[in-house]
Structure 1
Amino acid sequence: MKYKSVVILVVFVFFSCSEQKARKPKKHGTQNFYKEVIQSNKKLNKLQKERLELWIAKDTVHNYKVSPKGYWYYYVNKDSLQTATPKLNDIVEIEFNIADIYGKTIYDLQRRTYKVDKEDFIPALQDGIKLMKKGETITFVIPSYSAFGVTGDGNKIGINKPIQSTLTLVDIKKQINNNENN
């Protein structure tokens, strides 16, 4: 009996002290899964773009322009006398609201100071601000992929929801050293 206990103890110690081999992580996704997600998002973006284009075509009151970045905009107030537009690192003061594409307010008018291309902001508005001159007001129609995308804003804006925002450029404070390295 003693002999059996010793053998079991030796075997136990021998196997418990052996070096453990690293295990490979489980694969949760595959190449095909990611390709399917990408294809699904492309279809969703195309469908959303087509719907927004139809909605814009029905609006005969405003003259929309298309941005190369994939959003639409029209001027509410355009100033042809001003020439300066915001550049990288400039500090701008803006007023803006956010609404659904039918004009129902999601977030009321907000005032914000923003450092051009150096702070996190709605991607389409980051780009759109650089089109503006002091005192101008533009309404932007923004597809979800240029707004809050597949996550929404975690509060009032759901996933994959296009929005519109009317933005006024109140002031531009030009930065003396306007280079890419700042």
Structure 2
Amino acid sequence: MKRIFVFIAMISLGACKSPEARYPVSQNSGSYISESITKNQELLKKEVAKIEAIIKEDSTREYKPSQNGFWYVYNKKTSDSTNKPNPEFGDIVEFDYSISTLDNQAIYAEGEKETRTYAIDQEKLFSGLRQGLKLMKEGETVTFLFPSYKAYGYYGDKNKIGRNLPIKTKVTLNKVTEREELKPEN
């Protein structure tokens, strides 16, 4: 009986060995990431060159570069004296928009998309439009030129917009409801 206890004790002590780290069978050098970065930089250069050519060709209007990596032009601008605020975090906006290629081929024509109600920075919307809405005031219409990374990027919209497609988006901001207006009165 004593031998059985000694045997169990030896097995128990042998099983207490600390686990060893497993190492990968092969290691990658990270070249895939480097290739991907290079490919995306080249894609961005081509898209920016095309956008700049459109801006140069349309010399009658004044396109502005945004700090967020896209360009825009006012189709209808409200006067600065109206004191209407730009939408901020949490404000509810109602807007209409259409989307086309940079060559003006309609993807979603005007009226094809329903009027959209959106809470600024609290709902899903592609990054360029989310940032563009903050530049607008109620009643304005703006055309945005978005490189693909600011639009629908690598995946597209899984419907009509393909991958890595720069787009032109015309947006009319119909109404802005500020956060304070949303709070119940006491």
TM-score, normalising length from structure 2?
A: 0.77
Give the 3 Å change call, closer, same or farther, for CA 79–26 of structure 1 in structure 2.
Answer: farther
Which residue number corresponds to residue 126 of structure 2? 122
Which residue number corresponds to residue 3 of structure 2? none
Instruction: Give the secondary-structure state (helix, strand or coil) at the position aligned to 2:138.
Output: coil
**Which whole-Å CA distance do the structure 2 matches of 1:168 and 1:117 have between them?**
18
Is 1:86 equivalent to 2:87 in the alignment? yes
Shift of 1:83: 2.6
Which residue number corresponds to residue 98 of structure 1? 99
CA RMSD across the alignment: 2.4
Contact 1:137-1:168 at 8 Å conserved across structures: yes
Which residue number corresponds to residue 38 of structure 1? 37
Instruction: Give the secondary-structure state (helix, strand or coil) at the position aligned to 2:153.
Output: coil
**Which whole-Å CA distance do the structure 2 matches of 1:28 and 1:115 have between them?**
45
2:158 to 145, 151, 154: 154
1:138 to 133, 142, 150: 142
Structure 1 vs Structure 2: percent identity of aligned residues? 38
Q: How many residues align?
A: 161
1:168 to 163, 172, 184: 172
Instruction: Give the secondary-structure state (helix, strand or coil) at the position aligned to 1:38.
Output: helix
What's the CA shift string for 1:122-153, capped at 9, x where partnerless? 21110111111110110101111100111111
Give the 3 Å change call, closer, same or farther, for CA 148–132 of structure 1 in structure 2.
Answer: same
Contact 1:124-1:146 at 8 Å conserved across structures: yes
Contact 1:82-1:133 at 8 Å conserved across structures: no
Which residue number corresponds to residue 51 of structure 1? 50
Shift of 1:62: 1.9
Shift of 1:37: 0.6
Which consecutive aligned stretches of 4+ in structure 1 deviate over 6 angstroms post-superposition? Answer: none
Residue identity matched to 2:73:
Y
TM-score, normalising length from structure 1?
A: 0.79
Residue identity matched to 1:87:
E
Give the 3 Å change call, closer, same or farther, for CA 82–137 of structure 1 in structure 2.
Answer: farther
Q: State which drifts further: 144-153 or 27-36.
A: 27-36
Residue identity matched to 1:102:
D
Is 1:70 equivalent to 2:74 in the alignment? no
Residue identity matched to 2:143:
T
